[in-house]
Structure 1
């Protein structure tokens, strides 16, 4: 199917016009269901609705009875029965089809060699109609194409072009069946066999999201039918007539190294069919190049000696496909896949398609694929820009289903060996050319280069390793790739691989990389500062961090998120005394630069402080000491042994606030019920509202701390926390 202005999936009806996919308006049901438990006779047909690029086909298998009843049947029951064959259908009382028997089909040759006759019926619905295409000229173009690719075995001729007819009845939606019925009435009595085709052309009908439809082989009436939705190109008409001849689609099979779908590989566990992506075959939607050898063989026109089944390990020489003679195809079957190999040289109709490359084209048909692709040929892509295996290259299917080896091309053709291919020779020795050993890298990314590497099969990839870890991969033909090398001293090496798992490595060299600003590890984080003085508006904290840089830190400035301004620090500084406002979420960020001028920002961790005045639970004998220098105007004091205060909080740090002087003594510290330490709070210098002791955890949590007086005096003004 084609959409005006840009190609999309070519829709087809396999093999007749009962097209019921969501892309088109559904045709009303025809006739009533057959009586329960009956056996009916009809013609087998397969229909496909094709989505836009990237979408999937919707395939239906049906039988049309002589009464016009359409019966849907399971595809597996009709497997092996040719489309257009007369069959019997056993249907149970609930409508379930239990058997499809193709023994009643008429024995006939499937050859399509010979002259094919076209009756073209142009119709329209508008009051005025622009000039219609020159269908005689179109017929000659289609004939020239098939004459060329088949070596004169298949020809087309236009027997009749009916007068342009305006249909009196409007078409509802995209009712292609109604269009066919009208066209057949206009065409009159036509020959009904596989060599006769009725083609209906009509101006672009927006309700139909396709450019052309065609039956696969002979349909319900014994002939074939094509719908052209305003298109008259050789490629669209030739594609639909290819369906009439019995051909299915030529797709592309694209695979990737992993689920990220960034690096293409020939085959992997991450593959997808791209419908119609064959760059040559007219049964794709990209060009009207040489018809594949597999399609020529299916049409019976490849010629004597044109194909053979490969013998494992035995070399054959494939003649150029465009040469039209000699051995042009070898096949190999393994599991659910049958492989088809041909040699494309860019000759004849392939001349305008040089970008697709010259070499061995490898396709397969897989009965294990989804039903919409099970009959299509899948072209394996071996290089990002071209699908072919270049002369001299080889390949092993990772699943082990096929091994292929090619030799240098000669005037006679391309030597090819399938199966029992043994290659234990590694790619040629090669060396890194840049950077040099002991070089200093001063950019975040650097271009790694190496001498050209070769292989008797092919070099599939060259990987760049830093300390044994792959950081970049290039195609086998490349000699350079950009690689991100982390700061520090590293071992740099490149590894080349061939399709058979053989590798060659360069010598590892030592390099020093500094392409980035200094890195914070750990980043700035606030901690409660023991010894600092607490107020209702500020809690003393110590902000701590570390910086790493291969060439050293040249400058750093620290800024609080509260907007207090930047403070310039010495390059070696790794902590900063600050004050945090209680209840305000705050962080401290660094603006840093190294000695090479790489500048950046290190973002700190968020922190929130809180002040609890005279908080906690007190046991034992305590008294109140008043004074304006205390939080809240007073603090709790005890000289009694075993008097204690406990405090439960949620956060990652807690501090005891109180007065320290000569009269202060020893206190035991308990954390979550277990003794943690003892602390002597005596101080020659007196201080009020001091953070006399702190505890810090690696992460936030709920904890209970308890301070027990052991001797002398314990003063408690409150607690501070940080979360």
Structure 2
């Protein structure tokens, strides 16, 4: 299968490998200014994928890769002055699609001639020299094909193809055939970077002694690590690199088709993709790339799509782009009329019907098993059979892909048969196939265009975290649309359910009743030709239910330091739920200041006596709920406990109330009985402190190790909490740890 990466690399100018770029002019806003030749590369991946490289080659030969999305309208080979975010240059892996600095602005100083000429309906016949270069690669044992072999494919296959498809408008003639010395500058054979590719293509140009422009340098090498069949500059002439296209003898010969495809890129052509299942409901046959599903290289008819060893006829869309449609082959629809089309492969007669639009052009053509299309319908596994097909050309820059449409979505058919019809998405045209055989007869009907609804808004809404929220019973949907005769009224559709939630007629707003939850709204209109025009999708979250607390907030003791004034650490936690999104929480009470909006707990300290908190939560639409909790802290010194074994009193201002109880004997214990919902034991941690066993209500809770490298006084080292207050007993038993037997008990804290 023929694969290609769709954008051009540099124009027909030398491409040198320079890894460190010269300093660029730096703007006041931190941007850099770069000038040089704009390069657009189309890369044909062996796995069927597509990759595009774009960049600027400076006059000194250094290369800066740029983001292709920011230079879509720039012609390969143009001289440019660009403002970029970062002009530092470094090699990037070819398959790294995120590589490339964004271009803020670009001024085109000079554009190649073919790009200007292609906008016209005819272009003067031009003879283009093709120079063939073959070379070994250092470190690769395989030998390349001979220059004579590659040149023969140009002469016998590629040149005749482009000549007959353009009625002589593209005339390719082999000039030099060069067997170059071994290329030794690739570097690591395990890498494939943009700078490696550019340096090799520049080197290939330098092997030609008499370079002409616009012309083509075709380089073939034995296979290298790079995962593609070929690379071409998308420019007026340029360089093609074939990466051993026929290395696998088990495949059909790929060189002729690959080379013919790459020469198309050297004529500023992009790929021919397959597009269909358009609209927000995926039921329409026509639309832009962002409105449809699209398969790169999906066109099996056209040489600029996917090839299976065949060189199918060049589409009318590409001939239109080139401005090379032969005289008498083209008819432009001007109103309601009947048109007869000859098959494209026949290369004679009227073969292409143009349906003009506002910036979008559709080309209708007949594909049958004639001429270079003799393979059509012969592959039982292919869905590309004989019939009428429709192509779409969107307004775009050089190298832009054209699209073969799935013209009959309901039948999942690309081609139209007798009785089938197609409607352009803008509402202007409908085409019905009335007869189909050696020719196709089409009834073409012109309609008043229909306006697409745009700028859809929902009110009232609040935007939270990028989402629109509403609590309205019937929010209002508004949109804009031009007053065009082709509109038959507007409907608001909820896409998830497929339901029409409002029929607005000619109005530009409607109140809609929506259930709670996520709603995905769009506005559509059915054009007079039957096409459906959709707005973009507008999601909105509907929430009419206030938040609720699963239970009252819960407060418990937590580990940490106790202040000398008996400020004991506690944790307040709450659980609130909402049908939508909780966006904020506020707490009145100790520690409530500076709470994060999405918090569901806070840590603070309380002193002996009562404490109270009120927690208020709010959701995305502003509804709120609140809940309160209060507790009383009881603090008890170590003397409140009942000791057993050997204990002594230690005086130190760092203990609570200036004293603590100490034991170094195994099985020395102390018990404390209390009534409350949370208990905390306060002790000292130090280097000579050992382990204790903790029991609550006679049940072993575990071991607490009191050792610390630095002494820490007044530490809550054990806590336990119950759902409600009750009477309990805590018992601390020293384990008499060898080498560090001490236990220092400082007191107890209880929440009631």
What TM-score do you get using the length of structure 1 for normalisation?
Answer: 0.48
What TM-score do you get using the length of structure 2 for normalisation?
Answer: 0.47
Larger radius of gyration: 1
